[in-house]
A and B are shown apart, each in its own frame.
Chain A
Amino acid sequence: MGNLSKAEKKKIPRYDDQTQIEMGLVQFDLAKCNGCSLCVKACPADAIKLQDKKAKLNDHPECMACGDCVAICSEKAVTLVKSYRYSGRYKTIDQGGLELPRL
């Protein structure tokens, strides 16, 4: 059968349905966030905005779990919570959990 079923290979998921295209997710520790907005500028998906001088995810964030926001934050206020999970013909396969670089 392989990694995708025939049905899955045929199905083009709806890109605005979080049950079919699950985007990644980051979390902001608002106590640590100093509103510098570097993460807003670093995000390749334009998924972060500044609201009341604190970082916040947009309404339909297209987060691809790249971690650039986590890395650029000088206050260590950002955490990567989960990676993306696509379905249908773009079904995410062979992916394990989130890990920092391991020795």
Chain B
Amino acid sequence: MVDQEQKLSETKIEQLKSVRTETEDVILKRRSVRVFQKKQVPEFLIKRMLEAGRFAPSAGNSMPWKFVVLRDQEIIDGITQTIIETCKIYKGLIDYRYNGSILRRIIANIIIKSKPNDLHPVPFGAISLIADEKLGLFHNAPTVILIFADERGIGFPTLDCGIAGQNMVLAAHSMGLGTCWIGFPKVAFENTSIWRNRLGIDYPYKFVSSLAVGFPMGKPDGMVARPTHAVDWYEDGMKKTLY
């Protein structure tokens, strides 16, 4: 009996050399979706996504997350407006590109020093695009899932929220839905208390990120090329670097 099982698993591993698992396919074909159909996602599919999130691992199984599902266009639009208005203020203060403003460059560099992750070149550009209403926020997704972390969680609650979120993303894509991680609502929940009050979000919950969810337009999923990364590999007393 044990011999048979072993032979079966060896064959399985041998097959994996030329074939991917379904899960791998979902992971590798997943692209962020920003063009959605108008139709709403059936309730049961969102609940299935939330289940995938519920079963994510977390430090000490503390499950330090709170999911808030928004299917109310008025609320989604409202949060969008707050973000646009905040970005307009930021743009005026810091976008020095192509306009010769030395003052803006000075202010930008000061903020970059104190918040290097927020004003990395990419979000820096995104702030201006959002201010000019050239970049969608939730991309007209019919459902938005906000993810809040319980800041009292074990270890790194934010990390656990990310893991739960990605569980939801992969479940969604495996069901033919499209998703996109949207981090910008941070400015709507941290710079102002309007939305925390409106949605009743109190201590200990802090905004982490959100997911735009909907049926994709066209076929956005598919495999693309991506840069490789240096990986340090320690084995048999040697170290190699693979890409």
| A46 surroundings in chain B (CB, below 8 A) | 129, 134-135
The reply on B223 being an interface residue by CB < 8 A is yes
Identify which of B97, B105, B223, B227 gathers the most chain A CB atoms within 10 Å of its CB.
B227
Interface size on B, residues (CB 8 A): 41
Alpha-carbon distance between A12 and B120 when the two chains are bound, in angstroms: 10
Determine the residue in chain B with the shortest Cβ distance to A37: B35
Knowing A100-B225, A103-B17 are in contact, say whether A72-B35 is a contact too (CB < 8 A): yes
Shortest CB-to-CB span from B126 to chain A, Å, is 7
Q: Considering only CB atoms, which chain A residue lies closest to B29 in the complex?
A: A71
> At the interface, is chain A mostly helix, strand, loop or mixed?
loop
Which of A12, A36, A60 contacts B112 (CB under 8 A)? Answer: A12
Query: Is the pair B227, A12 in contact by a Cβ cutoff of 8 Å?
Result: no
Interface of B, secondary structure class, is: loop
How many chain A residues have a CB neighbour from B under 8 Å?
40
Nearest B residue to A15, CB-CB:
B121
Q: Is A97 interfacial (CB-CB < 8 Å)?
A: yes
- Give A95 Cβ to nearest chain B Cβ, in Å: 5
Contact indicator A45/B126 (Cβ below 8 Å): yes
| Among B112, B120, B220, contact of A72 (Cβ-Cβ < 8 Å) | B220
CB distance from A89 to the nearest CB of B (A): 7
Chain B residues with CB below 8 A from A74, complex form: 218-219
Given A38-B217, A42-B220, A45-B126, is A96 in contact with B228 using a C-beta cutoff of 8 Å?
yes
Q: Can you pick out 16 interface pairs between chain A and chain B where the beta carbons lie within 8 Å of each other?
A: A41-B217, A42-B35, A45-B126, A45-B135, A62-B121, A62-B126, A65-B227, A68-B34, A72-B31, A72-B35, A72-B218, A72-B222, A80-B225, A86-B121, A90-B120, A99-B227
A interface, CB within 8 angstroms of B: 12-16, 21, 36, 38, 41-46, 60, 62, 64-68, 70-72, 74, 80, 83, 86, 89-90, 93-101, 103
